Amino acid sequence: MTANAEKTSTNELVLTKGQYRRIQDWLYQVSGIDLKVGKENLVKNRLAKRIRTLGLSNFNAYIRYVEQDKSRKELLTLIDSMTTNKTSFFRERVHFDYIANQLIPDWSQRRDIRIWSAGCSSGEEPYSLSMLLFDKYAAASSTRILATDISDSILEQARTGIYRADQVVDLPTHYKTAYMQKKNGEHYSVKPDVRSTIRFANLNLMANWPMKGPFDLILCRNVMIYFDRQTQERLINRYYELLRPGGHLFIGHSESLASVNHPFSYCQPAVYKRD
């Protein structure tokens, strides 16, 4: 590449097919994310700010930077930039209704309920679970909720339990009053008793899992949309092994297990059970 061509690519941040394939390979090998052909502009736009923040000139320089980073922190930053951390309190409310009406009555004689929120993002899902349990389940304080994500930065945000007023605007008034504290006019903080049931931890779903289970409920919602069928199948069957007999798996309503070989029993859309 000539100096002039290099200068042009620097100014325009050109992403070549070879560079795109390199990023595709990293994402798939490390996190299972199946980045399809046709997402080149998305990759270029999402990484442009990072490239400039690092003071680099083009994608060749950025790829070299990732390759030379022995800590792999930049690789995880790259992966984080390719996912969308869109979530909200009590998202897909039908799942929380199912917990309240179907699961909690079955749990009424137990005090060792364990739940896993896989891909917890900024924490709204596990905090919603804890609020619901404190509201409906007598032994809520003894419940243990594991909340995991691959992104350290999003986990740091989740651990604070602090949310802007616009992030809790759709939270029912009862929950907001009972389980959150108003810090000022702009922020709310999750109360300590709700936070005490949750442990946040970094976890790559494609790596080894240190926890042994069994879990009564696993939520992996709107995560598998990033994976190909083979990866989905492997992940779903790993979840099955960690569930207690009678335990449930929730996936996102935009996801489906129709083309995946698995041993779960179907309960209702996006709800499955280990017999």
Is residue 13 a contact partner of residue 48, using CB atoms and an 8 Å limit? Answer: yes
Is residue 127 a contact partner of residue 192, using CB atoms and an 8 Å limit? Answer: no
Q: Where in the sequence numbering do the catalytic residues fall?
A: 46, 149
Q: Which of 252, 254, 258 is nearest to 271 (CA)?
A: 252
CA 94 – CA 111 distance, rounded (Å): 24
Token representation of residue 100: 């309240």
CA 79 – CA 206 distance, rounded (Å): 13
Is residue 28 a contact partner of residue 34, using CB atoms and an 8 Å limit? Answer: yes
Radius of gyration of the chain (CA): 21
Is residue 42 a contact partner of residue 94, using CB atoms and an 8 Å limit? Answer: no
146 SS3 class? strand
CA 83 – CA 120 distance, rounded (Å): 13
Residue matched to tokens 């936070």: 195
